[in-house]
Amino acid sequence: MRTADLITAAVLIAGAALVIFDSLRLGVGWGTDGPNSGFFPFWLGVGMVAACLLIAFQALRRSADKPFVQRAQLSSVLKVLWPATAAVVLMQFVGLYVASAIYMGFYMRWVGRHRWATVAAIGIGVPVATFFVFEKWFLVPMPKGPLETWLGY
Amino acid sequence: MGLENLALGFHHAVTPFNLFVAVIGITLGTIIGVLPGLGGANGVAILLPLTFTMPPTSAIILLTSLYWGALFGGAITSILFNIPGEPWSVATTFDGYPLARQGQSGQALTAAFTSSFVGAFFSIVLITFFAPILAEIALKFGPPEFFAIQLLTFSSFVGLGGGNPLKSLVSILIGFILAAVGLDIVTGQLRMTFGFTDLMKGFDFIVAVIGLFGVGEILLSVEEGLSFHGATTGMNLRVVLDTWKTLPRYWRTFVRGSFIGFWMGFKPGGATPASFMSYAFAKRFSRHPERFGKGELEGVVAPETAAHAAGVAAMLPMITLGIPGSPTAAVMLGGLIIWGLQPGPLLFKEKPDFVWGLIASMYTGNILGVLMVLAGVPFFAAILRIPFAILTPLIVVVCAIGAYAVHSSMIDIWYMLIFGVVGYVFKKLDYPLAPLVLALVLGDLAENALRQSLIMSQGTLTIFFTRPIAGAITAVAIFFFALPVITPWWRRLRGLPAAAPAPRET
Amino acid sequence: MKRQLSRLATWLGLAALVAVAAIPAAAAWEPAKPIEFVVPAGTGGGADQMARLIAGIAEKHKLSPRPIIVVNKAGGAGGEGFLHVKEKKGDDRNHSIIITLSNLFTTPLHTGIPFNWKDLTPVARLALDQFILWVNAETPYKTAKEYLGAVSSKQCKERQAGQCIMGGTGSAQEDQIITIQLEQALGVKFTYVPFKGGGEVCVNLVGQHVDSTVNNPIECVSHWKAGRVRPLAVFDAGRIPEPEWKDIPTVKEALGSDIQYLMLRGIFGAPGMHKNAVDWYAGFLKKVYETPDFQEYMKQGALKPAFATGGEYGKWLEENDKLHRDLMAKGGLLKK
């Protein structure tokens, strides 16, 4: 927990530094008609640095405690996270519908060990239904790939 | 004004065709409300071109029914999966989701739908009888008054969160900073985009919420073992009746939520702050504030009553003044023009059948709506019985669709994943998420209103005190800000023991 | 010989067939997939309304074989929308159009985003939006001259030092450009307060939170008819010819200085859109423009009918590009 607290504080301080840097470019003063563009972000950034330093200080004074996450826990979290990330990467190339079919099918089979029939029915049925709802009825375009282009969308 | 006009309105609204249209609208609206990222405004905008061939009264009934459906539907995913389908359902997750995890999703859903209906009904009655007077009050709200309201919303939350105050502060600061990314409307300059065009549109509140709450929650619950703690009790319509029996005891929360919602709903973006404020007040005035955030039914009643009251109130400036009270109303106004009606103060005189048909349809639409969603309670609750390995990817896909739909932008899906990891880490490190979300949704509005006011006053802060309405609201806000300081002092003065430590905020 | 003739005939026949097949194929491009119609502004505004009206008319009169999908991309004063269309590739370039307002010129000039209207393919200009100087009806100013007198002698009541407040949409956009033009031509000074949308601006005028606005007619018309606001002058060369608007004088008549500003309501296609696709969209928009629905909409909003395509449109764009550059340079609104 302590290490995680320190890392989070460090990341947030780095982010705040970026904010302060950009605010200085915009002007942090109080003009004739109120604050400049950078005024609020600047002080928000300064406040963030101060608060994070205090959090880090608190964490340092604490003795080492239970770990942030156990190995088994981390592996189950990653088991959700990496297929989801892979699916998002895939979306850039094959579009949302195909990517979600592959992702859902893979996950159902790999984690749930569901029967192939179930996997196929849901893995294909859900994206197809979504396609009709969004592209046909609601006319809300989703990311599309070669398959949809071939179908004329 | 009054009853005979309303009777005329019912004459127009209660035709078989219009009732049919209302049912279609509510069904579509509920779907749109369930899908995060597809808000009421999108839904209405999407259907707008289809309404050209309809008579205006039916067209507006279709669109408003869709809006009511979205208002009802927003609560469903909030309660079942901790994913707010709409911005104003964020506060519903605080207690609704814990209730669902305890196997009480049916109760939570029933409470949410019923509260929505109560809030809506209250607002509709006020609109029916006092619309013109209320519209005049709405006009008195300029930038300084608007800022004072934002201040009040924040102040109502101060001192409610327990935990590490430094972490709450950081959470608020992150929210404000994220809200500031993008174009600064006051000067027209780009802020904190560092030359990346993807950052230009800023961070959308919905995308952040889908990630922080939805994806973050999935990660947290798999950590505790690969399962959702779904409903296990038998699900039938009995649960609706049983929950109804317990609801009357929250009558104070209903009244308070309705007032807050109606009053906040006048101004654009009112429903979300109203729901937060109502939640905060319910917790403040509750005899068991420590139960909030852990599955208190009142914590569902409060935000939902206010959100739906505000959602209805947002229609008022549209009907009486021709100005939108919410993004959804803005699209409907466009619709009026396209249908050949002139929105604005004269609509009541020139098209009474349209206006009163619309008002009457608010009654019928909400009654139909609440019956339809309540009938669906067992069905919605049963969703949690879907096996984990099917539900998880399904939720992730729905979240991705929602995130993408906000701006039709791929980068938002990435933001969603990143926010998901951030939500997971923050929750584990006890950084509260509610202040972040509140700051993100109000930050932009608050900063604009503040700076507009300061331009008007040429830089002096007295403008928030010299204008009567702004002054009164600011004073109340300052009182709430000072409350954590005053309370211990007051107790000591009275010789009372110090208050128990405040409970943890979710 | 006979065989040769018949072979020739076959070839000729084939050639004719190819020609017959080729002529319509070349001329009649049709959208092969749904058309993305980008609005570089939020839902509910003037551009959004017009885009949805066009989509609706197309649906109602069956003017397009594929649906038109309106997508709002308002981020960065519309910059998000322009960059989105600019980055289209392949056949998407023929299925992506964008409706513009003045931010076509002003946003790149003020924010420095890597976009120029010349990146896009001009399709058609539909209409031009008017601007009117409005004050609250409860104020004593009956003419623009009276109001500007109060502005120059700083007599606006309940304001800091009597400084009059002009409300407008956004910063460094059309409303502020007009305000600066007024200031420079007449030697006065307003306090300019930016708001998010035109409807909001007019309501702040009705609530007397600002002293005047330069709203488009459609944004204020209902408040005018309800007797809450008063139009003082039109920023155009001539009066608005519609009966209910024709009594409002032009700025030149009212104040003696000729300040004109009109806002583009036009359509562009993605960069490198095929010539035939451009022709199809131009024809499609012409049909939309001629429907009674669209004509009625223009009448209601006192929009100036101004359908133009091709060279005429291009010439107008060139002129207005230069105009905006000049106006913004004079007003100190260019990116520093």
Q: What is the pLDDT of residues C160-209, one digit of tens each?
A: 888 999 999 888 899 999 999 999 999 999 999 998 877 788 889 999 99
How confident is the model at residue B438, as a pLDDT?
87
Secondary structure in 3-state letters for B120-181: HHHHHHHHHHHHHHHHHHHHCCCHHHHHHHHHHHHHHHCCCCCCCHHHHHHHHHHHHHHHHC
The answer to whether residues A17 and A87 belong to one domain is no
* CA atoms of B63 and B46, how far apart (whole Å): 10
How many contacts, defined by CB atoms under 8 Å, are there between B and C?
177
Note whether residue A46 is domain-resident: yes
Chains that touch A (3 or more CB pairs under 8 A): B, C
CB contact under 8 A, B183 and C57: no
* CA atoms of A46 and A16, how far apart (whole Å): 7
Q: What is the dihedral of CA B427, B431, B435, B438, to 10 degrees?
A: -50
Q: Which residues have C-beta within 8 Å of that of residue B224, sequence separation ≥ 6?
A: A73
Q: Which residues of A touch B447 (CB under 8 A)?
A: 40
B35 contacts B325 by C-beta, under 8 angstroms:
no
Phi first, then psi: give them for residue C251, nearest 5 degrees. -60, -35
CA distance C310 to chain B (A): 28
Is the model's pLDDT at B236 over the cut of 60? yes
Chain B contact for C190, CB < 8 A?
no
Residue of B nearest to C52 (CA): B49
Q: Which domains does chain C have, with CATH numbers?
A: 35-129+262-330 (3.40.190.150), 132-255 (3.40.190.10)
Count of CB atoms situated within 10 Å of the CB of B344: 25
CA distance A86 to chain B (A): 11
Q: Which residues of A touch B397 (CB under 8 A)?
A: 87, 100, 103-104, 126, 130
The answer to whether residues A96 and A146 belong to one domain is yes
Q: What is the mean pLDDT of chain A?
A: 89
The one-letter amino acid code at B449 reads: A
Tokens 């190339």 correspond to: A93
* CA atoms of B352 and B328, how far apart (whole Å): 22
Q: Which residues have C-beta within 8 Å of that of residue C119, sequence separation ≥ 6?
A: C82, C86, C271
Residue of C nearest to A138 (CA): C69
Helix (H) or strand (E) holding B308: helix B298-313
CA distance A105 to chain B (A): 9
pLDDT tens, B79-105? 998 988 778 889 999 999 999 988 888
Choosing from A61, A81, A105, the residue where a domain stops is A61
Of residues B245 and B408, the one with the higher pLDDT is B245
The answer to whether residues A76 and A101 belong to one domain is yes
Q: Which residues have C-beta within 8 Å of that of residue C157, sequence separation ≥ 6?
A: none
Note whether residue A31 is domain-resident: yes
Of residues B119 and B504, the one with the higher pLDDT is B119
**Number of domains forming the structure of chain A:** 2
Q: Which of B181-195, B201-215, B331-345, C175-189 has the highest mean pLDDT?
A: C175-189
Q: Which residue, A105, A102, A89, A74, is CA-closest to A143?
A: A89
A30 contacts B458 by C-beta, under 8 angstroms:
no
CA distance C222 to chain A (A): 32
CA distance C299 to chain B (A): 10
Residue of A nearest to B388 (CA): A112
Which residue from A48, A84, A108 is facing B417, i.e. has the nearest CB? A84
Percent of chain B with pLDDT over 70: 94
Length of chain A: 153
CB contact under 8 A, A135 and C32: no
Half-sphere exposure of B313 (CA within 13 A, CB side): 33
CB contact under 8 A, C226 and B344: yes
How many contacts, defined by CB atoms under 8 Å, are there between A and C?
16
Banded model confidence at residue C18, pLDDT cuts 50, 70, 90: very low
* CA atoms of B103 and B395, how far apart (whole Å): 19
Secondary structure in 3-state letters for chain C: CHHHHHHHHHHHHHHHHHHHHHHHHHHCCCCCCCEEEEECCCCCCHHHHHHHHHHHHHHHCCCCCCCEEEEECCCCCCHHHHHHHHCCCHHHHHHEEEEECCHHHHHHHHHCCCCCHHHCEEEEEEEEECCEEEEECCCCCCCHHHHHHHHHCCCCCCCHHHCCEEEEECCCCHHHHHHHHHHHHHCCCCEEEEECCHHHHHHHHHCCCCCEECCCHHHHHHHHHCCCEEEEEECCCCCCCCCCCCCCCEHHHHHCCCCCCCEEEEEEECCCCCHHHHHHHHHHHHHHHHCHHHHHHHHHCCCEEEEEEHHHHHHHHHHHHHHHHHHHHHCCCCCC
How many contacts, defined by CB atoms under 8 Å, are there between A and B?
171
The answer to whether residues A144 and A84 belong to one domain is yes
Chains that touch B (3 or more CB pairs under 8 A): A, C
Note whether residue A66 is domain-resident: no
How confident is the model at residue C21, as a pLDDT?
46
pLDDT tens, C76-90? 888 889 999 999 988
The answer to whether residues A89 and A42 belong to one domain is no
Q: Which of B235-239, C225-229, C307-311 has the highest mean pLDDT?
A: C307-311
The answer to whether residues A142 and A75 belong to one domain is yes
Enumerate residues 20 to 39 of chain A having a beta carbon within 8 A of any beta carbon in chain C. Answer: 33
B329 contacts C41 by C-beta, under 8 angstroms:
no
Is the model's pLDDT at A37 over the cut of 90? no
Q: Which residues have C-beta within 8 Å of that of residue A146, sequence separation ≥ 6?
A: A94, A95
Token pair of C133, please?
Answer: 């100087």
The answer to whether residues A81 and A124 belong to one domain is yes
* CA atoms of C216 and C231, how far apart (whole Å): 11
How confident is the model at residue B413, as a pLDDT?
95
Q: Which residues have C-beta within 8 Å of that of residue A29, sequence separation ≥ 6?
A: A35, A36, A39
Choosing from A11, A41, A61, the residue where a domain stops is A61
Is the model's pLDDT at A30 over the cut of 80? no
The answer to whether residues A115 and A146 belong to one domain is yes
CB contact under 8 A, B401 and A130: yes
Of residues B490 and C23, the one with the higher pLDDT is B490
The answer to whether residues A51 and A78 belong to one domain is no
How confident is the model at residue B162, as a pLDDT?
65
Average pLDDT over residues B17-23: 92
The answer to whether residues A7 and A75 belong to one domain is no
The answer to whether residues A33 and A103 belong to one domain is no
Is the model's pLDDT at B312 over the cut of 80? yes
Q: What is the dihedral of CA C119, C123, C126, C130, to 10 degrees?
A: 20
B395 contacts B76 by C-beta, under 8 angstroms:
no
Is the model's pLDDT at C46 over the cut of 70? yes
Q: In angstroms, what is the C-alpha Rg of chain A?
A: 24
How confident is the model at residue B141, as a pLDDT?
87
Choosing from A13, A33, A61, the residue where a domain stops is A61
Q: Which residue, B292, B299, B296, B270, is CA-closest to B160?
A: B292
Q: Which residues of C touch A149 (CB under 8 A)?
A: 33, 91
Parent domain of A25: 2-61
CB contact under 8 A, A91 and B194: no
